[in-house]
Structure 1
């Protein structure tokens, strides 16, 4: 293939993929592969969340790349206007709901610092293209650094129905958790009452009714001396439930400094992924099941 043909192909592509051959800081790596762009232009690409590494969005200039990782760059800002959703993909859409696969690093909803680079804002813009009066509503959330299956409603009525009947409608919520250390038990469960401190830190209490009751079931999938990959099922859905319960177990989630992790940048993200969400459709009552593959970094670290 001639250089011209390669150049034309790249112009048509919505993203560019580069394999990391040697350790390097992300910004320096990008400046090399995007040598036709200015330093400020490359920084802007990073800041807009247009760079992903394997399975997560990365915006830090000094993120250390490791050989074997794949760096993906959305071609340019115009890509956003071409129905490219940054940091997420749509798994299912109908008149009532949208189900997405969210990457780690993407906020579910706006914060004081970030209003637009969120799953909710992008989906709102997406549905408005069809009809300006269309709306999207949050049914449940995933933490910024948690990836996986997440659902939104297309009306206030559907949102309320899902939230008011969550325990009856939702049939399965399964996560993959990469935790520090070798978990000895093949399976088990943690039960406690969760409370929130004044600093917004969740913590467990064994005193009955001292907070919201939380039950987490886990099964060990694979492990080595340093890491274990667990399949985690939620019997209840409390804030930071898995993260607190893994800390209680003595095997904190990888990358979770808030709840006891001691490993620095083991996989460059939080080791938590929502891999299965199954529920009865709020309108048709049909049983639906959606899956998002476990990130390769989780599998590789725990082999």
Structure 2
């Protein structure tokens, strides 16, 4: 398994801003870039540190895995951060991902309900554990079958670490290019084919319904 030893070579291209107001900053995170700093100076470069150069007041609201691209919400005020954080906790933010997975999925749609917890001997990997795992639920829809792979729309109801990656593996269709949960030919792709495409939520200050998207790059 190559994941834990994969060198950190983050992309240098600018981070696109999707939306900004006095309280929120929404960006399109590139794949290969950490959301927050890792341990050690070699892992200091991240979305948060890059945004802080232009927006010193920027505050973290949630994370995406290093190898996942797509839409991320940051706050520009403490009030915005507190309210967005609470909305994630009570599941009032609807998330939509696009993934390409190994194999041709037969069913049109379904729901995966498998509890997850960290696999301590192999951390940061997660695994299914029906005794100690935390609830994790993912709705999915098949979009298209493409040359032995399938394009999927994934709508997580919960936000566990590596949830979509483990759930797709458990479905028998790991995400292409996943350094942790795919193997063999399924791992041999230039990037992990998982992208956070859309968010729907009420603005934490104004109450306006926000529907924001970051176009899928694959």
> Where in structure 2 are the equivalents of 1:51-90 lying within 5 Å?
86-90=13-17
> C-alpha distance in 2, partners of 1:277/1:261?
30
> C-alpha distance in 1, partners of 2:156/2:115?
14
Uncovered stretches (5+) of structure 1, i.e. residues with no partner = 1-46, 51-85, 129-134, 297-303
The CA deviation at 1:164 is: 2.2
> Where in structure 2 are the equivalents of 1:51-200 lying within 5 Å?
86-113=13-40, 114-128=42-56, 135-168=57-90, 170-198=92-120, 199-200=122-123
CA contact (8 A) 2:93 2:200 kept: yes
Q: TM-score, normalised by structure 2?
A: 0.88
Misfit runs of 4+, over 4 Å: none
> Where in structure 2 are the equivalents of 1:1-303 lying within 5 Å?
49-50=11-12, 86-113=13-40, 114-128=42-56, 135-168=57-90, 170-198=92-120, 199-200=122-123, 201-207=125-131, 210-263=132-185, 266-296=188-218
> C-alpha distance in 2, partners of 1:273/1:182?
19
Q: TM-score, normalised by structure 1?
A: 0.64
Residues 88-143 of structure 1: per-residue CA shift (max 9 Å, x gap): 21001111110001111111111124454211011111114xxxxxx111101011
Instruction: State how many pairs are aligned.
Output: 208
Larger radius of gyration: 1
> C-alpha distance in 1, partners of 2:22/2:198?
22
- Give me the CA root mean square deviation: 2.0
Residues 190-230 of structure 1: per-residue CA shift (max 9 Å, x gap): 001111121322111244xx321010011110113521100
Relative to structure 1, is the Cα distance of residues 48 and 187 closer, same or farther in structure 2, using a 3 angstrom cutoff?
closer
Q: Which structure's relative contact order is higher, taking Cα pairs within 8 Å and 6+ residues apart?
A: 2
